[in-house]
């Protein structure tokens, strides 16, 4: 691949420049997020259930992928088809895997055909921070934000010269390499990062040996390892023109090669070449007065070319273009009015032996939001109208209220509506699509309470969501179909403290996600565990840092009829790192230390015990 050569060259060039790193003054933005309201606010002041994962947390976790980093967090359930690089889907607050809106640097991403975001192909080493917003956000973002919004921010530039480098190795011949460079002055900045990751993988599919179609759906899958390779490049540049004018442009390109099991008798592909590319530009005018303006535009390209033993079989190509204009008007102290307009156009096509399609549709929207504080009370109101070429107009909105009870206690309540347009695959894919599908709509209510004091914090959020016209696969019609509705009730718990020098962080989820159609009333929605928890424990001991992550997940079902059961499991990950001096750090990890066997998708196994070693260079500013 041409990108692979570019990445290796960039890694070498940046690593040679490592000694030139210089100090710079930076601003701590760890507690500031923009996703929940499309304006800057602190996580503590947000009326939504939010979580921010910064770069320090990412590196300390020693996660190999975005999926590893998100596993077990409150409200999140993940399924994976066989380890690193394999197809992964995320269920936020029990909603469908295409009910979460993903943004990369403000640009809407995700396949217009499948509706999924290729989490496995978003390289963790190129990510600076992640913002997770739980609960409906269609009143600000439109379609897809039923369960919430997850925004990924790629590496950013800072004043001065900053360099970094990492190299790693591990089980199943895991190889990792990457480097980055930021150069920033008073009025302009530039940055570049490149990364490589590859693994021989595991033999992911164990076969079904029954006539039931599920999981990989094969009696005799290939008995070989299913490897993965990814090469990624991130470029960004920006300027500060004075008088409140600023702007930036960003590019993230990720190329992957993925192998998976196929049954030769079926003639289905066993290898896929993928491309994820996100480009975006922003222009902002904010002179500190009453009015701030932001103009943005972006494009996401998602492509997959599949083959069987080197012979092309089919391909998927989608493109999502978007643009927006937003005005933030300060009405008075602690009174902010936001007005905006969004435009988007999705296009997607499939080429294969069964049939092909090539479709596109546009969407125009206007939205308004009011945020106000009145003594101990905070209020947020949002409303949006979407005009879709294919499905007409949709009105959504939300209302949230918060109250400071004193002693660090905060009470909040909210209600919101959302909608989701069917994907192109749900409408047109051969032997599955149904052109008569209606958009899904939802209504959700939530009550939360939280407390933050010096040295400790906790929170609890209870919610109920009803999704009308929920789109599922109908085995009686052999195609996608709208059912009456699904009902989801949940409770999320979280907290953290320091005990005897150990930093403790606990998250837990109790979920009851039910199908409310006439035929399957009361059945659990597939691949959602009713109980899950994550405990992170870390401690610094001089130049050493030790840590562990315990993940527990209850049983779940892989089919709508709740016949195919996947057992619950618990895994333990151990990690350690030591400072070698002058910006060098050595990390070691033992994942799934107890060597547990488990599945998150029926018949797709997960890796057993694995080790990893990583050497990092990142001089302190």
Confidence of residue 10 (pLDDT cuts 50, 70, 90): very low
The phi, psi pair for 70, rounded to 5°, reads: -90, -15
Whole-number percent of the chain with pLDDT over 70: 91
pLDDT tens across 301-312, in order? 999 999 888 888
First to last CA, the chain: 35
What is the model's pLDDT at position 32? Answer: 85
At residue 121, does pLDDT exceed 90? yes
Task: List the alpha helices (DSSP H) in 394-538.
Answer: 424-428
What is the model's pLDDT at position 283? Answer: 97
Mean pLDDT over residues 325-333, rounded?
96
Query: In a 10 Å sphere around its CB, with 0-12 CB exposed, 13-18 middle and 19+ buried, how is residue 411 labelled?
Result: middle
Q: Select the more confidently predicted residue: 538 or 474.
A: 538
Contact 503, 495 (CB under 8 A): no
Which domains, ranges and CATH numbers included, belong to the chain? 2-220+230-358+366-617 (2.40.170.20)
Mean pLDDT over residues 336-365, rounded?
91
Lowest mean per-residue pLDDT among 12-16, 64-68, 71-75, 240-244: 12-16
Helix, strand or coil for residue 475? coil
Closest CA to 400 of 22, 41, 6, 13: 41
pLDDT tens across 434-477, in order? 999 999 999 999 999 999 999 999 999 999 999 999 998 877 77
Closest CA to 221 of 200, 199, 242, 206: 206
With residues binned 3-state (H G I as helix, E B as strand, rest as coil), the percentages for the chain, rounded to 5, are 10, 60, 35
Contact 570, 592 (CB under 8 A): no
Integer Cα distance of 173 and 177 in angstroms: 13
Q: Select the more confidently predicted residue: 432 or 68.
A: 68
- The angle at the Cα of 98, spanning 490 to 91, to the nearest 5 degrees, equals 35
Mean pLDDT over residues 355-364, rounded?
90
Integer Cα distance of 318 and 144 in angstroms: 16
Structure tokens at 6: 């570019």
The phi, psi pair for 118, rounded to 5°, reads: -75, 75
What is the model's pLDDT at position 224? Answer: 80
For all residues of the chain together, what is the average pLDDT?
90
At residue 198, does pLDDT exceed 80? yes
Those residues whose C-beta lies under 8 Å from the C-beta of residue 291, and which sit 6 or more positions away, are: 327, 328, 329, 330
The phi, psi pair for 587, rounded to 5°, reads: -115, 145
pLDDT tens across 369-382, in order? 999 999 999 999 99
pLDDT tens across 379-438, in order? 999 999 999 999 999 999 999 999 999 999 999 999 999 999 999 999 998 888 899 999
Q: Select the more confidently predicted residue: 611 or 219.
A: 611
Confidence of residue 551 (pLDDT cuts 50, 70, 90): very high
At residue 129, does pLDDT exceed 60? yes
Integer Rg of the chain from CA = 24
Structure tokens at 22: 């210089």
At residue 46, does pLDDT exceed 70? yes
Contacts 24+ apart (CB under 8 A), 376-381: 376/403, 376/404, 376/405, 377/401, 377/402, 377/403, 377/404, 378/45, 378/47, 378/402, 378/403, 380/37, 380/47
The phi, psi pair for 9, rounded to 5°, reads: -65, -45
Q: What is the DSSP letter of 570?
A: E
The phi, psi pair for 524, rounded to 5°, reads: -70, 140
Q: What is the DSSP letter of 171?
A: G
C-alpha distance from residue 501 to each of 206, 401, 455, 548 (Å)? 44, 36, 11, 14
What is the model's pLDDT at position 357? Answer: 85
pLDDT tens across 79-107, in order? 999 999 999 999 999 999 999 999 999 99
At residue 249, does pLDDT exceed 50? yes
What is the model's pLDDT at position 252? Answer: 98
What is the model's pLDDT at position 264? Answer: 64
Closest CA to 98 of 85, 109, 83: 109
pLDDT tens across 266-284, in order? 677 889 999 999 999 999 9
Mean pLDDT over residues 212-236, rounded?
78
At residue 355, does pLDDT exceed 50? yes
What is the model's pLDDT at position 473? Answer: 80
Place of tokens 């490592």: 18
Go through 488-518 and write b for each residue having 16 or more CB atoms within 10 A of its CB, e for each that does not: bebebbbbbeeeeeebbbbbbbbbebbbbbe
What is the model's pLDDT at position 217? Answer: 61
What is the model's pLDDT at position 227? Answer: 94
Q: Which residues pair with 413 in a beta bridge?
A: 401, 447
At residue 27, does pLDDT exceed 80? no
């Amino acid at each position: 691949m041409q990108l692979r050569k570019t990445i290796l060259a960039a890694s070498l060039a940046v690593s040679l420049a490592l000694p030139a790193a210089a100090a710079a003054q930076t601003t701590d933005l760890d507690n500031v997020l923009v996703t929940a309201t499309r304006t800057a606010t602190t996580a503590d002041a947000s009326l939504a259930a939010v979580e921010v994962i910064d770069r320090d947390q990412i590196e300390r976790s020693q996660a190999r992928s975005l999926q590893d980093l998100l596993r077990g967090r409150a409200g999140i359930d993940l399924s994976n088809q066989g380890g690193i690089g394999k197809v992964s889907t995320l269920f936020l607050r029990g909603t469908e895997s295409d009910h979460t809106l993903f943004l990369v640097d403000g640009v809407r991403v995700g396949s217009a055909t499948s509706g999924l975001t290729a989490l496995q192909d978003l390289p963790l080493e190129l990510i600076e921070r992640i913002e997770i917003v739980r609960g409906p956000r269609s009143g600000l973002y439109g379609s897809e934000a039923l369960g919430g919004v997850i925004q990924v921010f790629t590496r950013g530039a800072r004043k001065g010269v900053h360099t970094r480098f990492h190299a790693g190795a591990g089980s199943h011949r895991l190889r990792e390499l990457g480097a980055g460079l930021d150069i920033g002055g008073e009025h302009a900045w530039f940055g570049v990062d490149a990364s490589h990751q590859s693994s021989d993988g595991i033999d992911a599919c164990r076969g079904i040996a029954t006539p039931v179609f599920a999981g990989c759906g094969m009696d005799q899958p290939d008995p070989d390892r299913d490897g993965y390779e990814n090469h990624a490049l991130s470029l960004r540049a920006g300027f500060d023109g004075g008088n409140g004018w600023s702007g930036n442009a960003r590019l993230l390109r990720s190329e992957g090669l993925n192998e998976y099991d196929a049954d030769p008798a079926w003639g289905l592909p066993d290898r896929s070449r993928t491309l994820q590319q996100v480009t975006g530009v922003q222009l902002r005018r904010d002179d500190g007065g009453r009015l701030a303006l932001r103009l943005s535009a972006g494009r996401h390209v998602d492509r997959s070319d599949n083959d069987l033993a080197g012979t092309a079989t089919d391909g998927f190509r989608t493109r999502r273009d978007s643009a927006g204009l937003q005005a933030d008007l300060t009405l008075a102290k602690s009174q902010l009015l936001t007005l905006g307009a969004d435009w988007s156009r999705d296009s997607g096509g499939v080429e294969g032996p069964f049939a092909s399609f090539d479709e596109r549709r546009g969407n125009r929207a206007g939205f308004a939001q009011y945020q106000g504080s009145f003594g101990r009370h905070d209020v947020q109101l949002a409303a949006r109208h979407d005009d879709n070429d294919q499905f007409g107009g949709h009105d959504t909105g939300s209302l949230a209220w918060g109250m400071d009870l004193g002693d660090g206690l905060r009470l909040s309540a909210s209600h919101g509506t959302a909608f989701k347009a069917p994907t192109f695959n749900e409408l047109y894919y051969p032997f599955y699509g149904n052109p008569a599908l209606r958009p899904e709509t939802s209504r959700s209510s939530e009550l939360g309470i939280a407390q933050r004091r010096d040295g400790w914090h906790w929170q609890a959020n209870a919610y109920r969501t009803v999704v009308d016209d929920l789109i599922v696969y109908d085995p009686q019609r052999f195609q996608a179909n709208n059912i009456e509705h699904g009902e989801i009730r949940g409770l999320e718990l979280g907290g953290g403290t320091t005990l005897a020098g150990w930093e403790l962080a606990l998250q837990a989820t109790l979920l009851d996600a039910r199908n409310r159609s006439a035929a399957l009333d009361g059945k659990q929605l597939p691949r959602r565990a009713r109980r899950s928890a994550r405990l992170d424990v870390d401690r610094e001991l001089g130049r050493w840092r030790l840590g562990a992550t315990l993940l527990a997940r209850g049983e779940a079902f892989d089919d709508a009829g709740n016949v195919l059961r996947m057992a619950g499991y618990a895994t333990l990950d151990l990690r350690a790192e030591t400072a070698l001096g002058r910006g060098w750090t050595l990390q070691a990890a033992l994942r799934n230390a107890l060597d547990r066997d488990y599945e998150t998708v029926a018949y797709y196994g997960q890796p057993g015990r694995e080790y990893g070693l990583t050497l990092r260079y990142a001089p302190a500013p």
